[in-house]
């Protein structure tokens, strides 16, 4: 498990909902040193994207100014059901994805 997300269980068409996303990531600043005095390489998530049915509905560019295990809460006007696909890439070029089903009732 590298991420968790949450959307309301019942959503009406056109309703503005709050999407919550929690990613497990150290967000290393690159300023810390380990016990032997070596610099711990910077490794922060650069970009988080959220797609709904293939269309981008949110994007965030992060840096070391965001806490470890970044938490993001953003709004979304739900017009259709679909799969919310979160994806992010960090400085180590590791890309991960997480999906969440969004169900809109009429």
* Chain positions contacting other proteins, by CB under 8 A: 16, 27, 29-34, 37, 39, 52, 55, 57-68, 70-77, 79
What are the CA-CA distances from residue 72 to residues 21, 22, 62, 79 (Å)?
5, 6, 11, 21
For residues 49 and 61, give the distance between their C-alpha atoms in angstroms, rounded to a whole number.
9
Is 43 or 64 the residue whose CB approaches other proteins more closely? Answer: 64
Residue 35 Ramachandran class (φ > 0 left, ψ -120 to 50 alpha, else beta): alpha
CB of 27 to other proteins, least distance (A): 8
CB of 32 to other proteins, least distance (A): 6
CB of 103 to other proteins, least distance (A): 17
């Amino acid at each position: 498990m590298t991420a968790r997300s949450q959307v309301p269980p019942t959503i009406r068409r056109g309703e503005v909902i709050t999407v919550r996303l929690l990613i497990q990531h150290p967000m290393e600043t690159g300023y810390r040193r380990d016990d032997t005095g070596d610099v711990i390489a910077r490794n922060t998530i650069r970009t988080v994207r959220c797609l709904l049915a293939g269309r981008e509905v949110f994007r965030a560019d992060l840096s070391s100014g965001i806490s470890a295990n970044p938490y993001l809460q953003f709004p979304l006007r739900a017009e259709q059901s679909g799969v919310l696909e979160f994806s992010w890439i960090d400085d180590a070029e590791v890309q991960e994805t997480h999906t969440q089903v969004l169900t809109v009732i009429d």
